[in-house]
Structure 1
Amino acid sequence: MTSRELGALLLLGAIWGASFIFMRVAAPEFGILPLVVLRTSLATLVFLPFLFLTGGGRQMVKLWKPMCLLGAINTAVPFALFNFASLQLQSGVLAILNATAPMFAAMFAFIWLRERLGKLAIVGLMCGFVGVVVISLDKTLGSQLSIVPVLAVLGAAGCYGWGACMMKKSLAGVKPVAVAAGSQFWASLLLTPFALLQLPQAWPSSLAWMNALALALVGTGLAYLLYFFLIASAGPAKAVMVGYLVPLFGIAWGVIFLNEILSVWDFCGGLLILLGISFTTGVAQRVAHWAKQRLVVN
């Protein structure tokens, strides 16, 4: 990985980690669904020039049915669930639980796409599950907090996992920018009628607007473009490593900007989830293989 690619990876992790802060600040004033519509509409506008440059617009129109379904499952529903959960959960916890998406993807790929699930992948799923249980119990036992927001984040991560399998099955070979633009466009279109029923009674503050715009233009538009660059330049296997950086940045930004304090159990659960992801995605195996080769060479 070149220094340019590493810089893009770190920047992407920082942006996606900050997205949970943007949600926490903007969602209470905008409302759950209006914020999703604003986010997806502006992100669609960001993608438009790249659609014309790459010729992805034709694919977006031709494959409107799977794009519409993807927009609902992979964008509209998870974005709304995250906005709902951000009303009660800390941004660091949101980022940690969001990291379970690759495990859901592996599980759905096994069920739906009949992909083989190795022993280490099964161990990874179990580690991730234990990590989620640790965080869930820490947030609900002895507190007024309901488990519903935790389940909402897991539901969102599950949607991302399902969406990844759907893209592999129904949208293989489609330009990434067309997939991103199509999912954002259809999510906006599908949720607009419902968002109009939830418009905020008071005009959101300038701080809420800044965070909403940052979420749409930076956390969605720019972030996806960086992700596409990494996939094209460094390859998918290295691009997905950003999933390990997002929880770290999410926790750091929450502590720095929102004065959040995570418990020991949050960190323990987070480490179990990251360990589970490393087994499920094969990263742990690749690192072990690389270390073994280095020992042989030396």
Structure 2
Amino acid sequence: MLLSLAAVWGGSFFFAEVALREVPPMTITLHRVFWALPILGLIVVLKGIPIPRSMKTWGAYLVMGGLNNAIPFSLIFWGQTQIDSGLASILNGTTAMFGAVVAGIVLVDEPLTLKKIVGAALGVAGVTFIMGPEVLTDFNPSNLAQLAVLGGALSYAFASVWGKLKLADQPPLMNAFGMVAGSTVLMLPIVFIFDGTPRLDLSAGVWGSLFGVAALSTALAYLLYFAILARAGAANLMLVTLLIPPFAIGLGVLFLDEQLGANALIGFTVIALGFAVTDGRLFERLILKSKADADMQ
């Protein structure tokens, strides 16, 4: 299930890359949440999940839709107009480390520990390696695009904190539906104002990509997300962060003729190490194993 989630989320970068040939970034965001909304709504109804009536709850969904969908999707899709989908997915992999730091600062029950600080520092080091020192002196579109993707990752981090503070008492699938509803409400006027009326005369490949990013990378992804969360817990679910880039890179290489340089792959390795430090379990197991081996000797 974790691999399936990584595949459909990794596929979102591929679907967006195809859709960007004919559709602007913010309109892709609207398509992604608009078409996912009835799918999630049908699932909520079929499962008999009660729909909240409180305006306070729906206000929280509106904010959640902005932080977890509207802002990051739009930033990442715009970033993909300048950089490859594989690189975007690698930079998006910093989400877990941003999330750990933001939660450590804002939430009392998730303190900012040394391993979170070290993990975040490694994540920044990996990003710096990817972008190169020239980012400080040469703000070309590619650099701005990478910063946009990082901005999306930071928005995801704030969304996770917001969800824990404001929506922890709601059923998870209802949260997914409410969040997508909130982001749809936000994106409709924004798209019509800035992009104009969405075109319908799109090629079959682009329509297929829009359907894929909505039905697979959004609706199905949330079903897998909450199923894994219930079975394996949040810590194991975080592992998907490391599994997304290989799928996104593989799809880009196979179908879009994208090629990533050595810097990107080394940077991903450093980011992965930062994730491992933030998560902590890998090193704890290695320490326990070394102690067990020592005791046996």
Structure 2 length as normaliser, TM-score?
0.90
Separation (CA, whole Å) in 1 of partners of 2:267 and 2:43: 39
Q: What is the match of residue 228 of structure 2?
A: 230
SS in 2 for 1:56: coil
**Does the Cα contact within 8 Å between 2:89 and 2:245 map onto a contact in 1?**
yes
SS in 2 for 1:110: helix
Q: What is the match of residue 270 of structure 1?
A: 268
Which residue, 151, 154, 164 being the options, matches 2:150?
154
Separation (CA, whole Å) in 2 of partners of 1:139 and 1:228: 41
Q: Bigger CA drift: 101-110 or 199-208?
A: 199-208
Separation (CA, whole Å) in 1 of partners of 2:38 and 2:284: 38
Deviation sequence 1:94-152 (CA, Å, 0-9, x none):
11011101111111112211432222221111110011111112896999643111111
Pair 1:181–1:201, CA change in 2 (3 A) = closer
Alpha carbon RMSD of aligned pairs, Å? Answer: 2.3
SS in 2 for 1:173: coil
Q: What is the match of residue 119 of structure 2?
A: 124
Alpha-carbon offset, residue 214 of structure 1: 0.3
Q: What is the match of residue 169 of structure 2?
A: 173
Separation (CA, whole Å) in 1 of partners of 2:67 and 2:287: 36
Separation (CA, whole Å) in 1 of partners of 2:34 and 2:235: 30
**Does the Cα contact within 8 Å between 1:31 and 1:200 map onto a contact in 2?**
no
**Does the Cα contact within 8 Å between 1:67 and 1:186 map onto a contact in 2?**
yes
Deviation sequence 1:74-109 (CA, Å, 0-9, x none):
111111111111111111101101110111111111
Pair 1:296–1:24, CA change in 2 (3 A) = same
Q: What is the match of residue 291 of structure 1?
A: 289
Q: What is the match of residue 3 of structure 1?
A: none
Alpha-carbon offset, residue 242 of structure 1: 1.2
**Does the Cα contact within 8 Å between 2:118 and 2:274 map onto a contact in 1?**
yes
Pair 1:283–1:145, CA change in 2 (3 A) = farther
Taking the TM superposition and a 5 Å limit, the aligned residue runs for 1:8-87 are 8-59=1-52, 63-87=57-81
Alpha-carbon offset, residue 49 of structure 1: 2.5
Separation (CA, whole Å) in 2 of partners of 1:179 and 1:91: 28
SS in 2 for 1:108: helix
| Equivalent residue pairs, number | 291
Q: What is the match of residue 259 of structure 1?
A: 257
**Does the Cα contact within 8 Å between 1:37 and 1:192 map onto a contact in 2?**
yes
Separation (CA, whole Å) in 2 of partners of 1:239 and 1:56: 23
Pair 1:87–1:290, CA change in 2 (3 A) = farther
Q: Bigger CA drift: 235-244 or 73-82?
A: 235-244
SS in 1 for 2:20: helix
Which residue, 123, 129, 133 being the options, matches 2:128?
133
Pair 1:210–1:201, CA change in 2 (3 A) = closer
Which stretches of structure 1, 4 residues or longer, exceed 6 Å deviation after superposition? none
SS in 1 for 2:52: helix
Q: What is the match of residue 204 of structure 1?
A: 202
Separation (CA, whole Å) in 2 of partners of 1:120 and 1:74: 25
SS in 1 for 2:142: coil
Deviation sequence 1:156-196 (CA, Å, 0-9, x none):
00010000111111111321111111111110111101212
Does residue 1:90 correspond to 2:88, yes or no?
no
Structure 2 runs not aligned, ≥5 long: none
SS in 2 for 1:30: coil
Q: What is the match of residue 182 of structure 1?
A: 178
Q: What is the match of residue 218 of structure 2?
A: 220
**Does the Cα contact within 8 Å between 2:60 and 2:166 map onto a contact in 1?**
yes
The percent of aligned pairs where both chains have the same amino acid is: 32
Pair 1:33–1:139, CA change in 2 (3 A) = farther
